[in-house]
Amino acid sequence: MTATSTPTDALPVRTSERSTSGAAGRGKRVVFSATIPGRRRLQVHVPGLVRRAGVPILLVVLWQLGGNAGWWSTAVLPSPTDVAREFGTLIGNGQLPDNLLVSLRRVVIGAAVGISTGTALGVAVGLWRPVDQAIDATLQMLRTIPFLVILPLFILWFGVDELPKVLIIAIGTALPMYLNTSSGVRAVDPKLLEMGDQFGLNRLGLIRAVVLPGAMPGILTGLRYSLGISWLALVVAEQINAQEGLGFLISNAQALFQTEIIMVIVVVYALLGLATDLLVRFAEARMLSWRHDPRKRAAR
């Protein structure tokens, strides 16, 4: 009988994912392992942060290489180094921090009003059929109206001050929050509601102790959508005679053909959207730590 040896590259490679932290996207790592007879197991640890940053870094590198190679005119699309240089200039002269704070204030106020209103309406519609029949059709019609259509009406009704800007952001964030909250409330297990009744909880106590925790996955999903849409609504809102804010910087840069400044604001919008999404993912990981993640089993 002759002994046969198995080639190293023919060995099955096992891939598994481990988490060393509860926060989404942090502490995760991919473990690639191959067992070779007579040798120790080889493992390569890839941190989750590296995997998440890989594609954005690759896109920036391709962007820079394309600009250097002359694949397009840098007057139309500035290179990342030109954008970074302009970013430093705008920070140094105070234009970016001052206008960013104004836009952040508008988003915080509008999103707070919209998210709280959408959550309240979603809970009411999810619990009471008469409320659903009374307001759902109206809200569905409002959901399909583009921001740019109602913009002239808001100018006529509310003027050009801060109120119409905040209202546009509030409407944009309220509707996705309403849809996801109402869907989450309807998905709550009826047995939990019956158990709450047996424990003597009143309507308010039932909502606080049973409905909201049970609907939390849908509520957090709606929060992610709403915060993302808040930045889209801000772009439209700051078209209303804005004298300060990120939209004001874009309007001035567009009039003067300053593409570097436009790209700086585009990058700022992207980073703000990413920051709000990571914030909600962090809250989701903490508040829904009990939920089973099927990706862990699929990675084994």
Domain assignments of the chain as residue spans, ordered by start: 13-72, 80-291
Least confident residue range of 29-33, 151-155, 219-223, 232-236: 29-33
What is the rounded CA–CA span in Å between residue 97 and residue 12?
A: 53
For the stretch 157-212, pLDDT in tens is 888 888 999 999 999 999 999 999 999 999 888 888 888 877 878 888 888 888 88
Q: Is the dihedral of CA 183, 189, 193, 196 positive or negative?
A: negative
For the stretch 78-99, pLDDT in tens is 888 989 999 999 999 989 999 9
Does residue 26 or residue 177 have the better pLDDT? 177
Q: What is the mean pLDDT of residues 8-13?
A: 46
pLDDT at 26 over 80: no
What is the rounded CA–CA span in Å between residue 18 and residue 21?
A: 9
pLDDT at 282 over 60: yes
Please provide the CATH number assigned to the domain covering 80-291: 1.10.3720.10
What is the rounded CA–CA span in Å between residue 253 and residue 265?
A: 10
What is the rounded CA–CA span in Å between residue 137 and residue 146?
A: 17
Is residue 148 within 8 Å of 141, Cβ to Cβ?
no
Q: Write out the E strands in 21-159.
A: 28-34, 42-47
Tally Cβ neighbours within 10 Å of residue 201. Answer: 16
Model pLDDT, residue 297: 53
Model pLDDT, residue 19: 45
Q: What is the dihedral of CA 85, 90, 83, 268, to 10 degrees?
A: 140
Is residue 43 within 8 Å of 29, Cβ to Cβ?
no
What is the rounded CA–CA span in Å between residue 53 and residue 16?
A: 20
pTM exceeding 0.85 = no
Tally Cβ neighbours within 10 Å of residue 95. Answer: 17
pLDDT at 39 over 60: no
Crossing angle of the two packed helices 162-186 and 95-127, in degrees rounded to 10? 40
* CA atoms in the 13 A half-sphere facing the CB of 3: 1
Which of 181, 185, 182, 206 is CA-nearest to residue 194? 206
Q: What percent of the chain has pLDDT over 90?
A: 32
- Distance set, CA 77 to CA 70, 235, 271 (Å): 11, 20, 19
Which of 225, 106, 220 is CA-nearest to residue 168? 106
pLDDT at 284 over 70: yes
Tally Cβ neighbours within 10 Å of residue 229. Answer: 22
Model pLDDT, residue 292: 58
What is the rounded CA–CA span in Å between residue 26 and residue 62?
A: 26
pLDDT at 296 over 70: no
What is the rounded CA–CA span in Å between residue 66 and residue 77?
A: 10
Write down the mean pLDDT value for the chain: 81
Q: What percent of the chain has pLDDT over 70?
A: 80
pLDDT at 34 over 90: no
pLDDT at 13 over 50: no
pLDDT at 9 over 60: no
